[in-house]
């Protein structure tokens, strides 16, 4: 592979910019800095600010570059010695030094598991790059290795953080919402790979979680925020992120795992609590592993909004609620950047982070899909644009991207700089197809897990886990046939052409088929 240095990569992108940004207008670079400085071009992180002819912020490079270069870092991550051998850094620590070197920091492996799988399932469908599966399997297998003993108060569940980062997850405290996130990761990885051990592990987590779900009230959520796994003592009673167990039980139910009816009852109880308490009082606290209960955050309300958008049947008032949550997050945590909204993490860590900006953008993009309002589209587009500027820092080399956390926050974190960052850009492509390159073939959205995909000239083959679902692709050729399980898919089941003003978009709806072949002229 031809490998390029940092400066060469930037130069190559500048040459491609006219193609990649043609949909949003003539590219110009502003010559005056924010605040009136005129002797240097303005910069965000290590990149010059790029604006179009109307003064709107553009990404400094393509979203495709951000995704591919960032995943290259994960696949080729440096290693450090542990009792298991040479561990990729993300198995040992959550945070790097400000110059992207190794440091031992509290590891948040529960979040790594959830968000890495969310990124993987979209990245694999987008690229067909099976090499990435190996990296994410390492995370899940290490977490699974340290599930709690059967005789503990919380048996057969993951330890979601490691306060003595050495690659050995032996802490006796853990967070139930992150346990549920790991459970979701196991289920989706099972769907991707077919490996039954992850399904079995998720079943063990579900049984324990279900046994601990209570009614909850304004001061205590149905599941506590942090517990002692061995003796069951509640260390922190309130966690607004109850969408995590809701999502976990919902995923189990969709797989036909009902727990004798218990899982649906617990899911509905948890969801009613979300609607009755944090959605009404905005007491969105209790998510991050290293903060107290007084710090409100944007992550829980935005992930709650995401669940509503994916499952509108769960909330008849979802439109009102999603709109309110977007407005609340923008008002409390938003910071204007060249007309774009950059999002800060939480009250006690009130700094901009690109993962949270991309999260906000992905919800805004979904919201645009509901409203069709151009202002919502621009809000999403511009926030995605500003989220690119923390990628490919000056410590990057060749086609491997070292990412900052965000504007003004240089220490890379594996969650914020990679796993809980790339997934939102990939998801955004399904709502804003212009984010995907026009000169390549990609699945940019699916409501199923794509288990296998092969991209060849004028031919795409893929297999999904579920027989019912829809995909959206941006492709370079005109499709002549779409075959579903060996038979021609009816013409009213697929469309090709312009979608939301973007050319070359193929949309497929499957009703009873898993194997799809798209062939072009």
10 Å Cβ neighbour count for 512?
Answer: 8
pLDDT at 33 over 80: no
Rounded percentage of the chain residues whose pLDDT exceeds 90: 91
Read off the pLDDT band of 289 (50, 70, 90).
Answer: confident
Rounded percentage of the chain residues whose pLDDT exceeds 70: 92
pLDDT at 518 over 70: yes
Question: Greater confidence, 64 or 4?
Answer: 64
The residue ranges of every structural domain in the chain are 1-76+298-439, 105-295, 443-520
pLDDT at 31 over 50: no
10 Å Cβ neighbour count for 130?
Answer: 10
Instruction: Tell me the CB-side half-sphere exposure of residue 33, using CA atoms within 13 A.
Output: 11
Section 296-323 average pLDDT: 98
pLDDT of 290: 73
Helix (H) or strand (E) holding 142: helix 131-145
DSSP letter string, 262-314: HHHHHHHHHHHHHHHTHHHH------STT--TT--BSHHHHHHHHHHHH-GGG
Read off the pLDDT band of 1 (50, 70, 90).
Answer: very low
pLDDT at 22 over 70: no
Read off the pLDDT band of 37 (50, 70, 90).
Answer: very low
Tell me the pLDDT tens digit for each residue of 308-318. 999 999 999 99
pLDDT of 388: 98
Cα separation, 313 vs 126, whole angstroms: 28
Cα separation, 400 vs 407, whole angstroms: 20
Quote the strand ranges of 422-501, DSSP E: 442-446, 450-456, 459-464, 469-474, 479-484, 487-488, 494-499
Read off the pLDDT band of 294 (50, 70, 90).
Answer: confident
Cα separation, 519 vs 446, whole angstroms: 19
pLDDT at 263 over 90: yes
Helices 176-193 and 196-212, packing angle to 10 deg: 150
Question: Greater confidence, 484 or 34?
Answer: 484
pLDDT of 292: 63
Contact between 460 and 475 (Cβ < 8 Å): yes
pLDDT at 489 over 70: yes
pLDDT of 39: 56
pLDDT at 212 over 90: yes
Domain 105-295 top-level CATH class: mainly alpha
Tell me the pLDDT tens digit for each residue of 90-147. 999 999 999 999 999 999 999 999 999 999 999 999 999 999 999 999 999 999 999 9
pLDDT of 521: 82
Contact between 310 and 318 (Cβ < 8 Å): no
Tell me the pLDDT tens digit for each residue of 328-370. 999 999 999 999 999 999 999 999 999 999 999 999 999 999 9
pLDDT at 304 over 50: yes
Section 69-92 average pLDDT: 98
Contact between 163 and 91 (Cβ < 8 Å): no
Angle at 356 between CA 351 and CA 375, to 5 degrees: 110
Q: What is the mean pLDDT of the chain?
A: 92
Cα separation, 355 vs 420, whole angstroms: 6
For the four alpha carbons of 439, 440, 444 and 446, in that order, the dihedral sign comes to positive
10 Å Cβ neighbour count for 484?
Answer: 21
pLDDT of 261: 95
Section 475-499 average pLDDT: 97
Helix (H) or strand (E) holding 143: helix 131-145
Cα separation, 226 vs 142, whole angstroms: 21
Cα separation, 177 vs 294, whole angstroms: 18
Section 162-168 average pLDDT: 96
pLDDT of 11: 39
Q: DSSP code of 250?
A: H
pLDDT of 41: 85
Tell me the pLDDT tens digit for each residue of 417-451. 999 999 999 999 999 999 999 999 999 999 999 99
pLDDT of 480: 97
Question: Greater confidence, 248 or 15?
Answer: 248
End-to-end CA distance of the chain: 30
Cα separation, 356 vs 313, whole angstroms: 26
Exposure string over 164-194, b if 16+ CB within 10 A, otherwise e: ebbbbbebebbbbbbbbbbbbbbbbbbbbbe
pTM of this prediction? Answer: 0.93
pLDDT of 20: 39
pLDDT of 40: 78
Helix (H) or strand (E) holding 322: helix 318-333
């Amino acid at each position: 592979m031809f490998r390029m240095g940092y400066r060469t990569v930037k130069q190559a992108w500048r040459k491609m910019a006219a193609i990649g940004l043609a949909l949003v207008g003539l590219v110009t670079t502003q010559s005056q800095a924010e605040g009136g400085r005129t002797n240097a071009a303005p910069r965000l992180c290590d990149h010059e600010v790029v604006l179009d002819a109307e003064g709107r912020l553009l990404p400094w490079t393509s979203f495709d570059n951000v995704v591919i270069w960032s995943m290259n870092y994960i696949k080729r991550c440096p290693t450090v010695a542990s009792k298991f051998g040479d561990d990729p850094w993300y198995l040992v620590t959550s945070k790097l030094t400000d110059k992207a070197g190794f440091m031992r920091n509290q590891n948040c492996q529960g979040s790594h598991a959830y968000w890495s799988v969310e990124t993987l399932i979209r990245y694999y469908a987008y690229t067909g790059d099976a090499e990435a599966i190996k990296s994410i399997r390492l995370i899940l297998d290490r977490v699974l290795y340290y599930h709690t003993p059967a005789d503990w108060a919380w048996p057969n569940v993951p330890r979601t953080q490691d306060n003595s980062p050495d690659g050995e997850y032996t802490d006796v405290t853990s967070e139930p919402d992150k346990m549920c996130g790991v459970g979701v990761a196991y289920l989706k990885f099972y769907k991707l790979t077919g490996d039954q051990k992850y399904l079995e592990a998720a079943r063990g987590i579900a049984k324990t979680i279900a046994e601990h779900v209570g009614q909850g009230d304004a001061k205590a959520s149905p599941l506590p925020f942090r517990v002692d796994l061995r003796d069951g003592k509640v260390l922190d009673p309130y966690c607004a992120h109850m969408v995590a167990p809701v999502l976990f039980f919902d995923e189990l139910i969709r797989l036909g795992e009902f727990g004798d009816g218990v899982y649906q009852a617990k899911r509905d109880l948890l969801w009613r609590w979300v609607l009755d308490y944090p959605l009404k009082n905005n007491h969105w606290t209790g998510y991050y592993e290293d903060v107290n209960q007084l710090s409100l955050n944007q992550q829980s309300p935005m992930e709650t909004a995401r669940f509503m958008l994916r499952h509108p049947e769960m909330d008849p008032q979802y439109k009102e609620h999603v709109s309110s949550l977007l407005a609340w997050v923008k008002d409390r945590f938003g910071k204007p950047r060249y007309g774009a909204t950059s999002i800060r993490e939480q009250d006690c860590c009130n700094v901009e982070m690109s993962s949270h900006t991309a999260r906000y953008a992905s919800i805004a993009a979904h919201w645009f899909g509901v409203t069709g309002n151009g202002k919502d589209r621009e809000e999403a587009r511009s926030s995605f644009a500003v989220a690119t500027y923390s990628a490919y820092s000056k410590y990057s080399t060749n086609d491997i991207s070292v990412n900052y956390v965000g504007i003004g926050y240089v220490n890379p974190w594996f969650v914020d700089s990679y796993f809980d960052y790339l997934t939102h850009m990939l998801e955004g492509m399904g709502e804003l197809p212009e984010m995907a390159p026009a000169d390549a073939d990609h699945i940019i959205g699916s409501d199923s897990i794509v288990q296998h995909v092969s991209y060849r000239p004028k031919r795409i083959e893929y297999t999904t886990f579920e027989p019912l679902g829809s995909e959206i692709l941006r492709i370079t050729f005109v499709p002549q046939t779409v075959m579903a399980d060996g038979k021609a898919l009816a013409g009213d089941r697929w469309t090709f052409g312009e979608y939301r003003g973007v050319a070359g978009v193929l949309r497929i709806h499957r009703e009873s088929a898993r194997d799809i072949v798209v062939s072009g002229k």
